[in-house]
Amino acid sequence: MDRKSIEMAASETWKIKSPSREFLNLPKDERDVIDEFLGECPVRLGAMAARLGIKVLISTLPRGTSGRIEQEGDQFVIRINRHEAKHRQRFTLAHEIAHYLLHRDKIVASGGWSENVLLRSGQPQNIEYEANRLASDLVIPSNLLANATTEIEGPITSETIKSFARRFGVSEAAMEIKFQMM
């Protein structure tokens, strides 16, 4: 959407997308760990990964590879391409944490996954959709965003989207997805 149509759509009515079923269906012990980090903006994804026992390395990866996740010994390791923009690195990290939470048996079975710049690892598309939905809940927790929107008056505009994107450390596209225009 161009700026004008975003403002028009936004001047109608909107709401924040509910947490995904992937998020709501996580086992309670993992939800409890994750919830510790979802009250603070931007979400400290590196600390969340560490609490989950995942090692995160900012690495030089082949061109066209945004991230990689694999098991090394008894630990999961996520590598993030150091040459990509910060908000991209954050979303890639959230996507890999989501794969860890949802798909770690499959990751182990196939010897680790590398993700291209579209965050596709060669797995079936639904696997990537699941990871993206959960990743969105990790980088833009619905409650935090709901709190943030209480500060604004009037419609959500492209300026609002831009400022929220900065605050949460995500792309404007990721932020737009989180708002559901009615």
Binding site for Zn ion (CB under 5 A): 115, 119, 121, 128, 131
Nearer to Zn ion by Cβ, of 93 and 145: the residue is 93
* Residue at token pair 């995942």: 54
Residue 81 and residue 61 in contact, taking contact as beta carbons nearer than 8 Å:
yes
> Using alpha carbons only, what angle is made at residue 169 by residues 150 and 10, rounded to the nearest 5 degrees?
45
The residue sitting closest to Zn ion, measured at its beta carbon, is: 121
Residue 40 and residue 51 in contact, taking contact as beta carbons nearer than 8 Å:
no
Nearer to Zn ion by Cβ, of 112 and 155: the residue is 112
Q: Minimum Å distance from CB 121 to Zn ion?
A: 4
Instruction: Name which of 108, 112, 61, 111 is nearest 88 in CA terms.
Output: 61
Nearer to Zn ion by Cβ, of 115 and 137: the residue is 115
Instruction: Name which of 95, 113, 93 is nearest 105 in CA terms.
Output: 113
Q: What is the DSSP string of 149-166?
A: HTT--S---HHHHHHHHH
Nearer to Zn ion by Cβ, of 125 and 150: the residue is 125
Q: Minimum Å distance from CB 52 to Zn ion?
A: 17
Q: Minimum Å distance from CB 98 to Zn ion?
A: 8
Nearer to Zn ion by Cβ, of 78 and 119: the residue is 119
Query: Residue 4 carries which DSSP code?
Result: H
Q: Minimum Å distance from CB 32 to Zn ion?
A: 25
Q: Minimum Å distance from CB 79 to Zn ion?
A: 13
